[in-house]
Amino acid sequence: KSFLNHTAYLSCYFPNSQKTDIKDLRVFWQKNSVEVVHEVYHGQEKHDNLSPKYINRTKMDIDKWTLQLLNAGIVDEGHYTCIIQQKDKGSPKVIHTSECLLHIVANYSQPEIAWLHTGELKPNEYLNLSCSSSGGYPKPKQMTWLISQENKTSRLTPHSNVSQDAVTKLYSVTSTLNIPVPTNTLTNISCLLHLGEQLGSLVSVPLAI
């Protein structure tokens, strides 16, 4: 995983147990088996075969056999293969390959609750709220509302509207809540954005009624 617009690190996991000199090797990275991302040929960086969008965006840490991909964007997500070849009589011989998947993460804004109606709240009417969060990646799982009264908390998961910006590819999500106006009891309402198992969730500032 790499944060949007940060440097992504793609490792070759090459043990180099033979202590082979980089000058005797050709090391290159491919994306989705078609685009050449970086190439080191007998110790020298070579740019002839590179896909144009990776020119001046990569550098290799020879000691760690790791590629740094600068300013990683959502379009850089994908499957990368590192291939190491050694000079041999005739054609070069592949001595190591490794693969990794790159996922890009962009932080969502803290979910924010807004009132969808004006005027004072009256009993027997409905409470209309929305909760929104934006600027994140990947697509969120869902948005949940938590309604706490005294020692009881209920969860509601109404339908969420998720949209993706055509240019930045970042997501925005909005959910609306429509419940009877709580009476005689202090009620705390929060909304929770679930981003998936590894990314956890974000919670709004609670609204007290």
Write out pLDDT tens, residues 139-159. Answer: 999 999 999 988 899 999 999
For residue 139, what pLDDT is reported? 93
Q: What per-residue string of b and e applies to 69-107 under the rule 16 or more CB within 10 Å gives b?
A: beebbeebbeebbbbbbeeeeeeeeeebebebebebbbe
Residues 90 and 32 in one domain: yes
Residues 38 and 66 in one domain: yes
For residue 125, what pLDDT is reported? 85
pTM: 0.83
Residues 8 and 74 in one domain: yes
For residue 102, what pLDDT is reported? 95
For residue 42, what pLDDT is reported? 84
Q: Which of 61, 80, 105 is the last residue of a domain?
A: 105
Residues 81 and 51 in one domain: yes
For residue 63, what pLDDT is reported? 84
Strand partners, 123: none
Residues 100 and 67 in one domain: yes
Q: Which domain does 6 fall in, by range?
A: 2-105
For residue 151, what pLDDT is reported? 84
Q: Which of 54, 88, 105 is the last residue of a domain?
A: 105
For residue 207, what pLDDT is reported? 92
- CATH at residue 72: 2.60.40.10
Q: Are 170 and 136 in contact (CB under 8 A)?
A: yes
Residue 75 three-state SS: helix
Residues 6 and 101 in one domain: yes
Q: Which of 70, 105, 140 is the last residue of a domain?
A: 105
Maximum pairwise Cα distance, the chain:
87
Q: Cβ-count burial of 28 within 10 angstroms (0-12 exposed, 13-18 middle, 19+ buried)?
A: buried
Total of domains in the chain: 2
- With a cut of 50, which residues of the chain have pLDDT below it? none
